[in-house]
Chain A
Amino acid sequence: MRLIQLFKKELSHEARTWVRDELVSEQQANSILARYGTSLNDDTDKNSFGYYLLMSLGVLFIGLALILIVSHNWDEIPRSIRTGSLLLLTLVTNAVGIKLFLSKRIRAGIIWLLFGGMSYGASIMLIAQIYHLGEHFPDGIFWWALGILPLVVFTQSRLLALLSLSLASIWLVVESGEDFFPTLYPIFISVTLWLTLFQARSRLLFLSCVVGLLVWINLGLAWIMGSGYHFDPVAEQLPFSLGLGLIINGVAWWLMRADKSDWREYGLVVHIWLLRAAIITLLVFSFEGVWEEYPSDQSWLSVISVIFILVSGMLAFRLSRASGRYASLPTLMLTGYLTFSFYLVSAFSHMEFISAIATNLMLLLMGILLIRRGIDQSETHYFYTGIVVLLLTAFIRYFDLIGDYIGGAVLFLVAAGILMAAAKYWKHHVTLIALKQGGHSE
């Protein structure tokens, strides 16, 4: 799937100027835009959206002001009046929101429901303050998020979903910070995924769900390691996270082949962010010291984690195979490299050096493949990412030598050899294509 899909609003805007300048007809412009899942009318309500966005932000600020006002401790006002006022505010704001929403004034209704949601949260916090509740305070945030969640289902509002998911994510952080496992977090993820996949498009919400789910699974693993009593993250968890990354990348490629344009966009966005995350991870792993942190004992956990990478890689390959070599080849390469490196480090001692070299070679291959992909698919993003990967690898290795000066020099020479061989192959490939085209024209 082409990156241009992510700029369809800009494309729609450009197409309107082409029609205005009589370069293309309205019908032609719409035909072109239809290829990208958009139309000339796609962005015409941007003024009303701007109004909606600013109003929503205004409500958010009012909500924050409300929380600060009630946090002031109004000792002089009787407790029952303070509590009653907050309950009344929650009732009135939500009731107005419901009335407006049901009378087809959807956006106004949602803004009032957002305000109602803020009032509801402020009320939870204020009652806790008035009666000096020192109990587990993340519960308050959880009930706040949960109280807004049904509104997401019934209004299908992305704004309310964002509020609910943000609150749930804050709860995830503070709950685990207090050494409790946020078991119910997937409820919020499920509802938001349902909204974004089947009802309303939002790349931000979809990506947030993927990140939230990854964090939750990792917390779950750490919780299991701590025997379900406390979090005990271990180094062996890392291969599990990387395996999950492989699976999600496979799902991203699968989404990019979906019939629905929204799903294709989600797949592309997830793939791009995973690509960035993979490059950063590889750059971190390119240091020998990082591998030294990994335990070199063949425990059952390290064996399972290597098997998990292998199984994840196979699953990812199966999901991405139909999307072509730029989908399946990196999956195979990464699976092979991760399985090899983690197995080597956990099964034998003093193998960090080999794993670090393997990572550097992997970075080189990744860079070459990205440059190739960028040129083949005429996508400058991949081309320049490939260049950056190669330059960063060279820069890091120049200052952080592996195996002293001679070892570093050998590594650079091997890298140069690979780059030149790639260039030669490329030239050969281009010549072959030219010959074929010449043959066809004759």
Chain B
Amino acid sequence: MNTMTVPGWLHKKPGKRTIQIGLILTLFFQLSVLSIEYLGSVLPIWTGEEIILKTEPVDPRSLFRGNFVRLNYEINRIPTEPQTEFKMGSLIYVSLVEINGIWQFDTFNTAKPKMGTYIRGRVRRVDSGTVRVEYGIEAFFMPKEKALKVQNEMGGQAQVRVFVAPNGKARAVGFKCLGDACL
């Protein structure tokens, strides 16, 4: 038979007081996670500037979150020098310029710009000459019928209202009406 000395604390059952405090702290932790998620969601809307971005909707379904349209923005693919190296998931700031009411790519930087309108994203894929950046506004949740309507009636012409916070975090809030397609 093997005999092994195991530290006592591994066998020890926590006392009633520890369990009581631990369970309450766990509940507090869960509520904190939800509150931080909520605040992170609404802060760009409360404090940000509204811009319009051009996008193309497609229609997948999320296993956990229900139906949504996936939005492919023009600024999701940004041109780079072929030799430029990016780390996957690294932060990138894309400065935007308004042309005829639509905000478009101007320049990008790995440091936060001092001025102008910019949006914060993360590098998701690096190809030769382009880099794919995601900004957290690529999914728009809605019932299936509405999602299909957006996809069919707006096609590649959809425009999305986005709020951009001073730190560059963005939140999509809705589609801009285009002809009959109005949601």
Chain A interface residues toward B at CB < 8 A: 67, 70-73, 75, 83, 86-87, 90-91, 94-95, 98, 101-102, 116, 120, 123-125, 127-137, 140-141, 143, 146-147, 150-151, 153-156, 179-180, 194, 197-199, 229-230, 254, 257-259
- Chain B hits for A127, CB < 8 A: 34, 37-38, 41
Task: Name the residue on A nearest B174 (C-beta).
Answer: A132
- Chain B hits for A199, CB < 8 A: 13
In the docked arrangement, what's the CA distance between A198 and B68, Å?
A: 45
- The yes or no answer to B100 lying at the interface (CB within 8 A) is no
Task: Name the residue on A nearest B66 (C-beta).
Answer: A71
- Chain B hits for A116, CB < 8 A: 27, 30
- Chain A hits for B114, CB < 8 A: none
Residue of A131, A156, A197 touching B41 (CB-CB under 8 A): A131
The 0/1 profile, CB within 8 Å of A marked 1, for residues 142-183 of chain B is: 110010000000000000000000000001110000000000
| Cβ–Cβ contact B34 & A102, under 8 A | no
| Cβ–Cβ contact A258 & B1, under 8 A | yes
| Cβ–Cβ contact B172 & A132, under 8 A | yes
In the docked arrangement, what's the CA distance between A90 and B37, Å?
A: 14
| Cβ–Cβ contact A151 & B26, under 8 A | yes
8 A Cβ contacts from B24-60 to A: 24-27, 29-31, 33-35, 37-38, 41-42, 45
Number of interface residues of B (CB under 8 A): 55
Task: Name the residue on A nearest B20 (C-beta).
Answer: A102
- Chain A hits for B23, CB < 8 A: 98, 101-102, 151, 154-155
- Chain B hits for A257, CB < 8 A: 1-2
Question: What are the nearest 3 A-B pairs in CB distance?
Answer: A71-B66, A131-B41, A134-B139
Q: How far, in Å, is A191 (CB) from chain B's closest CB?
A: 12
- Chain B hits for A73, CB < 8 A: 66-67, 141-143, 146
* A–B pairs, 7, beta carbons within 8 Å: A94-B26, A133-B41, A137-B62, A150-B25, A150-B26, A153-B14, A155-B19
| Cβ–Cβ contact B67 & A71, under 8 A | yes
In the docked arrangement, what's the CA distance between A100 and B146, Å?
A: 44
| Cβ–Cβ contact A128 & B134, under 8 A | no
Given contacts A73-B66, A94-B30, A129-B65, 6 further A-B contacts (CB under 8 A): A95-B27, A125-B65, A128-B37, A132-B140, A135-B136, A154-B14
- Chain A hits for B26, CB < 8 A: 94, 147, 150-151, 154
In the docked arrangement, what's the CA distance between A123 and B4, Å?
A: 44
In the docked arrangement, what's the CA distance between A391 and B66, Å?
A: 50
Residue of B18, B64, B67, B137 touching A140 (CB-CB under 8 A): B64
